[in-house]
Amino acid sequence: MDVHVRYEGDDDPEKCTARKLSRFDMADLHRSNRGTPYGVVLDPFAEQALSPADRSIADVLVALDVSWETAEAEGVALPGEHRALPYLVAANPVNFGRPFRLTTVEALAAALVILGDRDHAESLLSKFTWGETFLELNEEPLRRYADCEDSREVVAIQEEYLHRGTAESVE
């Protein structure tokens, strides 16, 4: 599976996981929508969750490395099949333990696991000291999402984790 990133370059270059993947020739960065190939776009605002059913259309995987404030306000106008990642917890040092606050490499790795390419996910994460921790923290949900038939099942499992988090914060 080809890995691409729609890259704005508006973050700290020292902490940018997309740039690091590019330096290792593990992802292609694109500075414009027009230059980004058509594929499955990991979009947190998409109406459909990524699921194993997307394997048939996932020759190209595109992550967004853009300002979320801008993306939310303007929408993501990138051509492709937009899919949202389900509930997962970040392992990166900036957002450790926070749900839905994944770096670009965490998002790509999660998508690869859900789509059945764990080896590729491990390869991407191997370039980061905390990479293996991401897979350990999310071992159960990633396994469960990867076993789903479709987006509807992924969303149902996500609801369990969201409900569990709400119940724990109330106690």
pLDDT, one tens digit per residue, over 3-35 is: 999 998 767 777 899 999 999 999 999 998 889
Spans of all domains in the chain = 2-170
pLDDT, one tens digit per residue, over 117-133 is: 999 999 999 999 999 99
pLDDT at 71 over 80: no
Q: Are the C-beta atoms of 162 and 169 separated by less than 8 Å?
A: no
The burial of 26, by beta-carbon neighbours within 10 Å (0-12 exposed, 13-18 middle, 19 or more buried), is given as: middle
User: What is the rounded end-to-end Cα distance, in angstroms, of the chain?
Assistant: 43
Least confidently predicted of 39-43, 62-66, 81-85: 62-66
Pairing of strands 81-83, 60-65: unpaired
The stretch 105-110 carries a mean pLDDT of 98
pLDDT at 48 over 60: yes
pLDDT, one tens digit per residue, over 131-151 is: 999 999 999 999 999 999 999
